Structure 1
Amino acid sequence: MADNKVRLSQIVGTFGPGSMLDLPERSVLVLGLDHWEMFGTGTFKVIQEPRLQRLLHQRLKDDARIIGDRPPEFRTPPIDAGDPKRPSPAIKVTVFPRWFACDAIAGDPPNRRRLARFQDLEPPKRLEYKGDDGKRRKASPIRFVCGCENGHLQDIEWRGVVHQNFRGEAGGTAGPCRREMWLEDSGTSADPRDTRISCDCGASLSLEELFQPGRLGSCPGERPWIIDREVEKCNAEKGLRLLTRSATNTYFPQVARVISLPQTVDELARRIEVVWSVLSDCKAIGDIQAARRFNPEVRANLDGYSDEEILASVLSIANGGNRAEAADVEDPRIAEFKLLASGNTLIGENASGAHLHAQTLDRSIWDPASDPSLSGINSLVAVHRLREVACLYGFTRFEPAPLANEDLEDVGLAVNGAALGQNPEWLPAVEQFGEGFFIQFSTEALAQWLARPAVLARAQQLQAGATAWIDAKRARGMAVSANILNERERPEYIMAHSLAHALMTEVAIDCGYPASALKERIYLLPRLPGQPIQCGILIYTASAGNQGTLGGLVEITHRFAKVLKSALERERLCSGDPVCADHDPVRADDDRMLHGAACHGCLLISETSCEARNVLLDRVLLVDTVGPTGAAFF
């Protein structure tokens, strides 16, 4: 298993600590941060993004997901240095689940497969089971485990579950029966009623029974990725619930992403920024001296500056001086929007090592004919180079955790989730470089659009769907705030989000980027009394390595009018019409309550590209369709 590799970006996401991963011969559980091989020179890289580090510490300091009285350090997952003389660092995993179903061989009963524990398989590889008949059968992990919405996970104790309430031949409740157990499939479908777990003693149950509330018992708080159990009793109301090992609801990663802002012009502050995780706690000259003496990276970066100069700059930065204003630290998206929408011809720095290099284009470049259909767009920014930092800070199972609902919270941090380690003082993160383009909507056009009766009526219909969605969640026992969607339920957000999806689909067709490689960031500043509506979208792509991507998205900006018109025309008619266009959110189920006219035939895209799990979309707010009309922004 040491030769199995995944990309760094997959670790900070789909295959983070606590997730299950299928390898060629095993199903394994990725262990927590305490079990990652992060020792030795060059085994990982420290990523500096002080705005996000301080925000996570500020919002999660009383949460088990972050331990310590200082902002968490960001580290990449273990990196293979490529040195043949040194073993490659690794992320440790453990075999999970530990129950296996054996392949049938000649002479076995039809549609029945023996069940065996991991310790009962043949050593040393433990890939086969040798039965009482002396024959070997290849074993594969069973498909079913159990867990709770707090992230806990464990094997199903099949013997106890199957024999629960079963009375054997002697008439008493069955004890620890050790006879053979079987997985039986009586049909060709995946219907739970067609699959049973049985014992030779006569006890059996169908998978359908395991969906009954409380059938698997209360949750004891098992955390096998940390190899321990929660000290406090798990408060999951529904107790343990059945999970299909490879299903998407087994792991919902909580990832915070920011676009790095330009480094400050102050050279000393820029150097301090590079080693900020080390210097952030320095309060006196002695702290600076110790950091320079014992940390080679600090010593190299601050060479030529006195201890007094460094301390003064560190204290200024810590108090929000040269580095960033307090509001920027609290709300990275607001800082990003203000910079990209500043109207400056040059944004950032045109240099190979710059975090951000963008250019606000003259309107004559992207709208040479002064097209009336583009009057709703205020400015277009070509982002030649950007740096994205993504950090994994927790996860949930069964349901994604609700986002924080504070009025000024725009980074989208989840309010609860499982920890990645026993005492996580650092978090896994990756940095990626890329390019894109930014669109700022006209505040006047948005205000006029929102005042139209058809838009108000459509907004009420979408709001009714959001309310029904919240009520449905509460009916299932979930504690959901009435303000869970926050700014995202506003029609401006839904319109901008829908346009982002339409543009990503069109750009993928036009310039050849894979659709799954494109990403979005929707900017909608909180609506304050007397203030204009400020809204924009960033479409970008990013990949590992300092070189970023090939410039296809920037080139799109010179043909933006054509690309936008083509994207909007594509949304007028969907292959699912008229059903798609006439979709009523209130009468829908689950997340479809958060949709207007949107489906896989028109607006839904790869979920890795969408920041909102493919919800809160409606092409009726973009263009007139075969259904409702009059609410289109364009």
Structure 2
Amino acid sequence: MKRKLRVRQAQTVLPFGVGAVLDVQGESFVAAGIERWPDLKTPVSCERLAARLGSKGFYAAPHTLNDRYDQPDRPGVPYVRFPGWLFCGSCRGMARYLRENEKPGEPPVCASCAAAPRLTPMRFVRICADGHLDDVDWWYWAHSRLAPELRDSCSESDNAWKARRLSFRVADRATGLEALSVRCGATGAGGKPCGAERDLLDVLGPQSGHCSGRNPWQRWDARSSCGQQVHIVQRTAGNVYYPVVYSALDIPQTDEPPRAEQSVAAAVLAHDYWPLLLDALGTRRADTFRGMIKEDTDAPDGLIDQLAAEATGAPTTPSPEPKPGKTGKVDLSRDEWYAFDATRFPEAAKEFTIRRGGLGLDGEKEEPWATLDAHVGKVVLADRLREVRALTGFRRHSPNGTLVPADTSGRLRWLPATEVYGEGIVLTLDEERLTAWENDPRVQVHVRGVRADLEASFRAEQLAEAVGSELSPRFQLLHTVAHLLIRQLSFDSGYTTASLRERVYGRPEYGQHGLLIYTAAGDAEGTLGGLVRQGEAPHFAETLIRMLEAAAWCSADPLCAEHTGQGFGNLNRAACHACTLLPETSCETGNTLLDRALVVGSARVPGYFTDVLTASREYAAATAQE
């Protein structure tokens, strides 16, 4: 029976998009560039995301007809076998498996063993900071400890891999990488066996040699001249593949200006320098007045351009939108927040259906419900959401490495994407109370340390896409609440944490003060209304109280609660796997910029929900005494 290797359509963007290594049924493949995709592609529409990414459109991977992903000439998305070096677990012989050796529906087997066991891919590969991926030169590795003249004396030095003379050996009296070695069994000068051998003790890390300047699916004549240092890593290591994925919700257009933008526009029109800016349009002085107005009102350039056009009838030169290839900053949250924050919601549609919810605590005087109601702004229930995720490219070795586009040929103007239908809950905080809290000097001092760590991190530019030009206390608070809420919903609603995703709207310059929790896998979970039902009254208020009670204690306390820097780049404070962290696919910032202390408080900083937690504990104590 021929094997069937399956990849879901959504997985062709993340986690097995272009450039990713896929392990399936004991075999290993790498996803080829979109220039090798077949013509039977499914168009995906999202004008807002396409405009921000500078793309002419999106296409989803075609539905396969034969379920075989190892043949580039089939209707499915092409996955190329990688690494090409394989070994037999029985005789330990190594073989370089070429594309012409592939047999449809059959795995590679050992030709030397009578039982024809399956060949296993070697676990080590070569990468560089320019995004290239290649096999390790195992013949050179086995002979690298020999003098050049002895190395050249191996009579099969030019075709040792063809003669199947290399073997991958395991020592009985050693452990770890020291127990593994590659040995050459070719015939040397005078008919003597070569016998060159080297263990893998120091195989990982930077190595000498030249980078091939290509990825496995590219033709040899498409290679580039690459002078980067070559690094040998395990093929499943985290630094082999850093996908660059952007996502956007399908938001319908509305003629009603958002409330936050109305207030900012009013502040711009009332500014003392606004008449001076209008008089100076077209001169250098206009930039000076524009900068002063932006500093005082936090108005974006687009809004100032629009107001100037309405006042003069001749639009000013618009400030260019940031491109992902230049600044890396692509803000897609603004329109989404305006849709959720609008006073009048758009009409229900297949792609976007929202309605106003609530905690059901209006007029409540008992604690802790009255205090909770005072801290929460509003609740919006999204019965139907459509999210489009697009892959622009990938990096290797480091998140700041060279971006390799999804189209490695450089000829196409579209991007691979997938669409997901789901549902969600929007939670906003009371804006007046939130502003007063984040202006507390203790909060400012506390967040200043995280801000300094973020500015020193090599992920600063990448995370700026989510947090804005400067990390604000409200973003870190909302982000932590989103994590805690997802963890609590996984208990209350039955969804796994990996099935839920977050979108944090915490940029003060846009008047944002909320978050969205939504289903991330609409084809399997989340389309039956379970998450929205959990967001209705009275369930959601009870969920929030349980969330705060759980956040007040961690099994790693007091170490976790008193930490001054933990996690990646010390970008977390009181947040660890036991209390706050989520699967990587659920978080916008890679499990960074989290701090429970900003939510429930600590000895150093007041938490936004400290009053709610205190009232809940007092209520529980009074109930226990009764």
TM-score (norm 2): 0.73
Kept in 1: contact 2:28–2:81 (CA 8 A): yes
Whole-Å Cα distance in 1 between the matches of residues 517 and 384 of structure 2? 13
Kept in 2: contact 1:120–1:129 (CA 8 A): no
Whole-Å Cα distance in 2 between the matches of residues 173 and 372 of structure 1? 83
Superposition deviation, residue 544 in structure 1: 4.5
1:262 matched residue in structure 2: 252
Superposition deviation, residue 393 in structure 1: 1.4
Whole-Å Cα distance in 1 between the matches of residues 480 and 572 of structure 2? 10
What is the CA deviation profile of residues 596-627 of structure 1, one whole-angstrom value per residue up to 9, with x for unaligned ones?
111110001111111111111111111135x7
Q: Which residue, 203, 215, 227 being the options, matches 1:210? A: 203
Whole-Å Cα distance in 1 between the matches of residues 87 and 79 of structure 2? 21
Q: Which residue, 484, 502, 506 being the options, matches 1:520? A: 502
2:177 matched residue in structure 1: 192
1:357 matched residue in structure 2: 353
Kept in 2: contact 1:12–1:390 (CA 8 A): yes
Q: 5+ residue gaps in structure 2?
A: 68-72, 186-193, 256-314, 324-329, 611-626
2:543 counterpart of 1:563: yes
CA 389–348 in structure 1, closer or farther in 2 if over 3 Å, else same: same
Whole-Å Cα distance in 1 between the matches of residues 528 and 174 of structure 2? 46
Superposition deviation, residue 526 in structure 1: 5.2
C-alpha RMSD of the superposition: 3.8
2:270 matched residue in structure 1: none
1:103 matched residue in structure 2: 89
Kept in 2: contact 1:44–1:77 (CA 8 A): yes
2:604 counterpart of 1:622: no
Kept in 2: contact 1:582–1:628 (CA 8 A): no
* Bigger shift: residues 73-82 or 555-564: 73-82
CA 511–420 in structure 1, closer or farther in 2 if over 3 Å, else same: same
Superposition deviation, residue 209 in structure 1: 2.6
CA 488–600 in structure 1, closer or farther in 2 if over 3 Å, else same: farther
CA 186–629 in structure 1, closer or farther in 2 if over 3 Å, else same: farther
2:306 matched residue in structure 1: none
Superposition deviation, residue 220 in structure 1: 3.0
Superposition deviation, residue 521 in structure 1: 0.3
The sequence identity of aligned pairs, in percent, is: 29
CA 230–527 in structure 1, closer or farther in 2 if over 3 Å, else same: farther
In structure 2, what residue type is equivalent to 1:618?
A: D
Whole-Å Cα distance in 1 between the matches of residues 499 and 150 of structure 2? 63
Whole-Å Cα distance in 1 between the matches of residues 202 and 353 of structure 2? 58
In the TM superposition, 1:58-77 aligns within 5 A as 71-77=55-61
In structure 1, what residue type is equivalent to 2:570?
A: M
Whole-Å Cα distance in 1 between the matches of residues 10 and 363 of structure 2? 37
CA 426–508 in structure 1, closer or farther in 2 if over 3 Å, else same: same
Kept in 2: contact 1:522–1:537 (CA 8 A): yes
1:446 matched residue in structure 2: 434
CA 488–397 in structure 1, closer or farther in 2 if over 3 Å, else same: farther
In structure 2, what residue type is equivalent to 1:555?
A: R
Whole-Å Cα distance in 1 between the matches of residues 531 and 361 of structure 2? 15
In structure 1, what residue type is equivalent to 2:239?
A: N
Whole-Å Cα distance in 1 between the matches of residues 150 and 348 of structure 2? 83
1:161 matched residue in structure 2: 141
CA 417–453 in structure 1, closer or farther in 2 if over 3 Å, else same: same
Whole-Å Cα distance in 1 between the matches of residues 424 and 150 of structure 2? 73
1:602 matched residue in structure 2: 579
In structure 2, what residue type is equivalent to 1:90?
A: G
In the TM superposition, 1:254-333 aligns within 5 A as 254-262=244-252, 331-333=331-333
Whole-Å Cα distance in 2 between the matches of residues 548 and 482 of structure 1? 28
In structure 1, what residue type is equivalent to 2:353?
A: H
In structure 1, what residue type is equivalent to 2:97?
A: F
In the TM superposition, 1:31-430 aligns within 5 A as 31-38=32-39, 43-57=40-54, 71-80=55-64, 89-104=75-90, 113-119=92-98, 127-131=108-112, 138-164=118-144, 166-167=146-147, 177=157, 178=160, 180-186=165-171, 191-200=176-185, 201-213=194-206, 215-228=207-220, 232-234=224-226, 236=228, 239-262=229-252, 331-344=331-344, 347-351=345-349, 353=350, 355-361=351-357, 364=360, 368-369=364-365, 371-401=370-400, 416-422=403-409, 423-430=411-418
In structure 2, what residue type is equivalent to 1:576?
A: A
In structure 1, what residue type is equivalent to 2:7?
A: V
CA 338–35 in structure 1, closer or farther in 2 if over 3 Å, else same: same
Whole-Å Cα distance in 2 between the matches of residues 480 and 350 of structure 1? 37
Superposition deviation, residue 427 in structure 1: 1.5
Superposition deviation, residue 629 in structure 1: 5.0
CA 468–333 in structure 1, closer or farther in 2 if over 3 Å, else same: closer
2:489 counterpart of 1:507: yes
* Bigger shift: residues 220-229 or 94-103: 220-229
What is the CA deviation profile of residues 461-515 of structure 1, one whole-angstrom value per residue up to 9, with x for unaligned ones?
3234335544xx8xxxxx9799787557332211111100100011111111222
In the TM superposition, 1:423-502 aligns within 5 A as 423-467=411-455, 469-470=457-458, 486-487=468-469, 489-502=471-484
The size of the alignment, in residue pairs, is 515
Whole-Å Cα distance in 2 between the matches of residues 3 and 171 of structure 1? 43
Superposition deviation, residue 21 in structure 1: 1.5
Kept in 2: contact 1:147–1:241 (CA 8 A): yes
In structure 1, what residue type is equivalent to 2:425?
A: F
Secondary structure of the equivalent of 1:432? strand
CA 328–95 in structure 1, closer or farther in 2 if over 3 Å, else same: closer
CA 165–425 in structure 1, closer or farther in 2 if over 3 Å, else same: same
Whole-Å Cα distance in 2 between the matches of residues 209 and 572 of structure 1? 45
Kept in 2: contact 1:487–1:524 (CA 8 A): no
Whole-Å Cα distance in 2 between the matches of residues 486 and 173 of structure 1? 61
Kept in 1: contact 2:426–2:516 (CA 8 A): yes
Secondary structure of the equivalent of 1:334? helix
Whole-Å Cα distance in 2 between the matches of residues 120 and 256 of structure 1? 33
Whole-Å Cα distance in 2 between the matches of residues 616 and 142 of structure 1? 37
Whole-Å Cα distance in 2 between the matches of residues 21 and 421 of structure 1? 19
Superposition deviation, residue 168 in structure 1: 7.7
Kept in 2: contact 1:121–1:128 (CA 8 A): no
Secondary structure of the equivalent of 2:415? strand
Superposition deviation, residue 548 in structure 1: 6.3
In structure 1, what residue type is equivalent to 2:477?
A: M
In structure 1, what residue type is equivalent to 2:333?
A: R
Whole-Å Cα distance in 1 between the matches of residues 201 and 24 of structure 2? 28
Whole-Å Cα distance in 2 between the matches of residues 205 and 599 of structure 1? 41
2:560 matched residue in structure 1: 580
2:287 matched residue in structure 1: none
